[in-house]
Chain A
Amino acid sequence: MSGIQARFKLDWPGFTLDVDLDLPARGITALFGHSGSGKTTLLRCIAGLERAPQGQLEVLGETWQDSRQWLPTHQRSLGYVFQEASLFPHLTVLGNLRYGLKRSSDAQRVSLDQAIELLGINHLLERKPDRLSGGERQRVGMARALALSPRLLLMDEPLAALDLKRKQEILPYLERLHAELEIPVLYVSHSPDEVARLADHIVVMEAGRVMASGPLTDTLARLDLPIQLGEDAGVVLDAVVAERDAAWHLARVAFPGGSLWVRDGGHAPGQAVRVRILARDVSIALQRTTHTSIQNCLSAVVDDIADDHHPALSLIRLKVGGSPVLARLTRRAAVGLGLLPGLPVWVQIKAVALVG
């Protein structure tokens, strides 16, 4: 099994794209960065909508571009979801769904019915796109790409044009897609929430270059290159709901290395969830403190220590069992506690966010 190897060099006035990526063949890979970082351009190069003169692209063992050939977009087995749904206004929803299906020669890994069901658009099939809400349109756009049964699904900020309510309406569908389908997804986003919620793998881009690429949890826990998803450094952990405490409206979620009490998000025991822990919400003690308001106290080992963006601050990576957690302390506190790699400590986690 081979993944996606993408190497592109592109020189435009005022913008250079220079990437060399090796991406996994499964799960959602987020291309994360500010606008102008080149993430959409990279996606368009992969789709063949943009032509990088120097490039090499292999997708699951199939060559789409090298020095001798360049496959035009319509011959690439991909699905593309644009930022605005870009449905064909002269066709009904069903007409839109069938447009690609009729022309696709790919093996039917996803049936049209399955795509319709997965995105919950069964009641919209006879409508014209101008009779749909923004969220519905985007769901149709996703189903249209999915119904092609592509080898690779490309999504260019599919939620960026929607308001918060519509985003919340679509995210569960994306999570279902993630859980139920095997198709690898490249997901362009500048939204920390979407990345924390959906991504398995992250590629961080800046000024046309790749700053970091790797599994989400490991990459977010890097100290040499603290990747800030949003306002602060922090980690995202995959967890499973272990029990619910109805009396206190809390739920215990277990992850490799321990468990945490979080606000009950209504998830049933056994359901997979994600939690996000920001470095600023984590403090460190040498002994277990019992007289504290903080409920989540876990045994950990100091893994690494680095300077933070301000000279007064240190960023500490800890191992809680097999999972990394970041903590931000003042340097004085870190030195005062005598923190060194290998030292067993207790981490107190003040806030945990359930992200999906």
Chain B
Amino acid sequence: MSTPKTLFAVALVLSFGGLAFAQSQSPNLGKPITESDVKTWDIAILPDGTNLPAGSGSSAQGAKVYAERCMVCHAEGGKGGIMPGAGPLVGGAPLTNGIDTAKTIANYYAYATTVFDYIRRAMPYNAPRSLADDDVYALTAYILSLNKLIGENDVMDAKTLPQVKMPNRDNFILPYPDRI
């Protein structure tokens, strides 16, 4: 028997051209899993520090890892210029020159978590995901310290890293907030 309510539901489904399904009619061909199944893949760090792993590292420890794993492309002291694409990790001109200014960690990045996240997912370029989390914290501390964004002896971990104040954080504009 058709009630107005079911008729409405049918009309709704038809109006989406048969591609929108009520939950019960959806193909449901995904295999249910748990968050612990995704643990190895679940590496995205949010700027408030959500999902940062356990562990910690200092600039001094980072300098050692850097010499072994990073310097071959990024040069001594993060100066860059050895491998194309492996740009400088230190310094950066003021952004007042607009598009003529090279974007760097120090002059541009809004969140220090981005540094940690990218090293962990993509570096070293020839062996991604091969660094221990402690090493990633240490490298992040080393790079932030080279840029004087943290003190020489500051230790980076899940608590301290999101608190690093990046100088360019407040210079971003949302031109189209309606797209979010």
A, B assembled together = no
Residues of B at the A interface (CB closer than 8 Å) are none
Residues of A in contact with B (beta carbons under 8 Å apart): none
